[in-house]
Structure 1
Amino acid sequence: MRQLTALDAQFLRVETATTTAHVAGLAILDSADGTVTKDALADLLLARLHLSPALHLRVAEVPFGLDHPYWVSDPHFDIGNHLFETALPLPGDDQQLADAVADIHSRRLDRAHPLWEMHLITGLAGGRVAVYTKVHHAAIDGVSGAETLAALLDLTPDGHLRRRGGAAATPTRSAARTSSLRRTASPPTAPPPANLPPATDGAPSAPVVAAIQPPVVTAGLQGAVDLPNGQPVACLDPTASGAPGPLTAEAAPHVPATTESTPGGQHDLADKARGGSSGGRQAPGLFGMLAGAAVRTMTHPFTAMRSVVRAAGDLDAIPVIANVPGAKRIAEAARVVAGERRDRPGMPPLTAPRTPFNGPITAQRHLSFGSLSLKDVKNVAKAHGISVNDVIMTLCTSALRSWLSEHDALPEAPLVVAVPVAVRTGSAKEVVGNQISAMVTPLPTNVADPKERLRAVGAAMAQAKRRFALAPATWPSELCSVLPAPLATLATPAVFRLAGVAFPPINLIISNVPGPQFPLYLCGGRLLSYYPLSVVTDMSGGLSITCFSYDGMIDFGLVACPERVDDVWSLIGHLRAALDEVLDERVGDEFRDGVGVDLVAG
Structure 2
Amino acid sequence: MHQLSSQDAQFLYMETAHNLAHVTSISVYDPHTVPGGGVVRFKDILAHVERRLAANPLLTRRLLRLPLELDYPYWIEDEFFDLEYHVTHGRLPEPGDWRQFCIHMARYHSRSLDMRRPPWEMYVVEGLDHVDGLPAGCYAIATKIHHAAGDGASLTRFFASLSDIDPQGTPAIPLQPVEPGSDPMPAFGTLARRALLNNLRSPLRLGNALLRTVPGLLETAREAARGKEGSSPRPRYPVPHTRFNVAVSPHKVFDARVVPLADLQAARVLVPGATVNDVILAVCSDALRRYLQRHDELPEDSLVAWVPINARARAGADADGGAAGNRISAMTAPIFTNEADTVERLRRISQSTRRSKEARAGIPARLMTDLTQHVPAATQVLASRLVLQTGLAARLCNVFISNVPGPQIPLYMNGACAVRNFGLAPLADGMGLFIATPSYNGRVSFNVISTREIAPDIDVLMVCFDEALDAMREALQTAPESGKRTTAARRVKTPAKRRKTPARARKTTPARRRATRKRVSPDGQPD
1:370 and 2:262 aligned: no
Q: Which secondary structure does the structure 2 equivalent of 1:513 belong to?
A: coil
- CA–CA distance in structure 2, aligned partners of residues 577 and 380 of structure 1: 15
Contact 2:239 2:303 in 1 (8 A): yes
Contact 1:15 1:493 in 2 (8 A): no
Look up the match of 1:435. 327
- CA–CA distance in structure 1, aligned partners of residues 241 and 269 of structure 2: 35
- CA–CA distance in structure 1, aligned partners of residues 6 and 215 of structure 2: 20
Q: Which amino acid aligns with 1:110?
A: D
Deviations 1:280-303 (A, max 9, x none): 132421111122222233334444
Match of 1:404 among 258, 267, 292: 292
1:9 and 2:9 aligned: yes
Deviations 1:187-229 (A, max 9, x none): xxxxxxxxxxxxxxxxx144xx7xxxxxxxxxxxxxxxxxxxx
Q: Which amino acid aligns with 1:392?
A: I
Match of 1:553 among 436, 443, 452: 443
- CA–CA distance in structure 2, aligned partners of residues 311 and 568 of structure 1: 44
Q: Which secondary structure does the structure 2 equivalent of 1:138 belong to?
A: helix
- Shift of the alpha carbon at 1:483? 5.3
Match of 1:129 among 139, 150, 168: 139
Match of 1:53 among 33, 52, 57: 57
- Shift of the alpha carbon at 1:8? 0.6
Q: Which secondary structure does the structure 2 equivalent of 1:440 belong to?
A: strand
Deviations 1:26-79 (A, max 9, x none): 112213367333211111111112223322222111123211100122233210
Match of 1:293 among 195, 216, 229: 195
Distance 1:310 1:19, change over 3 A: farther
Q: Which amino acid aligns with 1:513?
A: V
Deviations 1:164-201 (A, max 9, x none): 5xxxxxxxxxxxxxxxxxxxxxxxxxxxxxxxxxxxxx
Contact 2:304 2:334 in 1 (8 A): yes
Q: Which moved more, 1:571-580 or 1:6-15?
A: 571-580
Q: Which secondary structure does the structure 1 equivalent of 2:438 belong to?
A: strand
Look up the match of 1:393. 281
Gaps of 5+ in 1: 165-203, 210-269, 316-328, 337-341, 592-602
Deviations 1:489-528 (A, max 9, x none): 3552342232258x52111211111123332222222211
Look up the match of 2:241. 354
TM-score of the pair, normalised by structure 1 = 0.70
Look up the match of 2:25. 25
Distance 1:41 1:412, change over 3 A: same
Q: Which amino acid aligns with 2:465?
A: L
Contact 1:59 1:111 in 2 (8 A): yes
Distance 1:357 1:585, change over 3 A: closer
Q: Which amino acid aligns with 1:83?
A: V
Gaps of 5+ in 2: 130-135, 482-527
Look up the match of 2:86. 82
- CA–CA distance in structure 2, aligned partners of residues 132 and 421 of structure 1: 25
Match of 1:516 among 390, 407, 413: 407
1:202-217 alignment to 2 at 5 Å?
204-206=171-173
Deviations 1:124-166 (A, max 9, x none): 123221111111111111111111111122222232xxxx5xx
Q: Which amino acid aligns with 2:307?
A: V
Percent identity (aligned): 33
Q: Which secondary structure does the structure 1 equivalent of 2:182 belong to?
A: coil
Look up the match of 1:157. 167
1:167-178 alignment to 2 at 5 Å?
none
- Shift of the alpha carbon at 1:561? 2.1
Contact 1:350 1:442 in 2 (8 A): yes
Look up the match of 1:230. none
Look up the match of 2:267. 380
Distance 1:103 1:314, change over 3 A: farther
Look up the match of 2:388. 496
Q: Which moved more, 1:116-125 or 1:558-567?
A: 558-567
- CA–CA distance in structure 1, aligned partners of residues 142 and 366 of structure 2: 32
Deviations 1:79-138 (A, max 9, x none): 022101111221111111111111111122112221111100111123221111111111
Contact 2:267 2:476 in 1 (8 A): no
- CA–CA distance in structure 2, aligned partners of residues 393 and 85 of structure 1: 36
- CA–CA distance in structure 1, aligned partners of residues 478 and 38 of structure 2: 41
Distance 1:383 1:440, change over 3 A: closer
- CA–CA distance in structure 1, aligned partners of residues 364 and 459 of structure 2: 35
RMSD: 3.1
Contact 1:383 1:587 in 2 (8 A): no
Q: Which moved more, 1:100-109 or 1:291-300?
A: 291-300
Distance 1:514 1:483, change over 3 A: closer
Q: Which secondary structure does the structure 1 equivalent of 2:166 belong to?
A: coil
Contact 2:311 2:365 in 1 (8 A): no
- Shift of the alpha carbon at 1:585? 6.7
Aligned pair count reads 462
- Shift of the alpha carbon at 1:415? 1.4
Deviations 1:390-438 (A, max 9, x none): 2111101111111111122211111111111112232134432111111
Q: Which secondary structure does the structure 2 equivalent of 1:446 belong to?
A: coil
Q: Which moved more, 1:571-580 or 1:128-137?
A: 571-580
Distance 1:438 1:279, change over 3 A: farther
Q: Which secondary structure does the structure 2 equivalent of 1:295 belong to?
A: helix
Q: Which secondary structure does the structure 2 equivalent of 1:457 belong to?
A: helix
Look up the match of 2:518. none
Look up the match of 2:75. 71
- CA–CA distance in structure 1, aligned partners of residues 369 and 479 of structure 2: 48
Distance 1:309 1:441, change over 3 A: farther
1:275 and 2:178 aligned: yes
Contact 1:53 1:431 in 2 (8 A): no
TM-score of the pair, normalised by structure 2 = 0.80
Q: Which amino acid aligns with 1:363?
A: P
- CA–CA distance in structure 2, aligned partners of residues 314 and 345 of structure 1: 20
Match of 2:477 among 583, 587, 590: 587
Look up the match of 1:197. none
Deviations 1:266-321 (A, max 9, x none): xxxx9xx6436x96132421111122222233334444555667778889xxxxxx
Q: Which moved more, 1:405-414 or 1:487-496?
A: 487-496
- CA–CA distance in structure 2, aligned partners of residues 297 and 527 of structure 1: 46
Contact 1:70 1:283 in 2 (8 A): no
- CA–CA distance in structure 1, aligned partners of residues 387 and 367 of structure 2: 17
- Shift of the alpha carbon at 1:367? 0.8
- Shift of the alpha carbon at 1:387? 2.5
Q: Which secondary structure does the structure 2 equivalent of 1:497 belong to?
A: helix
- CA–CA distance in structure 2, aligned partners of residues 26 and 508 of structure 1: 22
Q: Which secondary structure does the structure 1 equivalent of 2:29 belong to?
A: strand
Q: Which amino acid aligns with 1:285?
A: A
- Shift of the alpha carbon at 1:451? 1.8
Q: Which secondary structure does the structure 1 equivalent of 2:395 belong to?
A: coil
Distance 1:101 1:350, change over 3 A: same
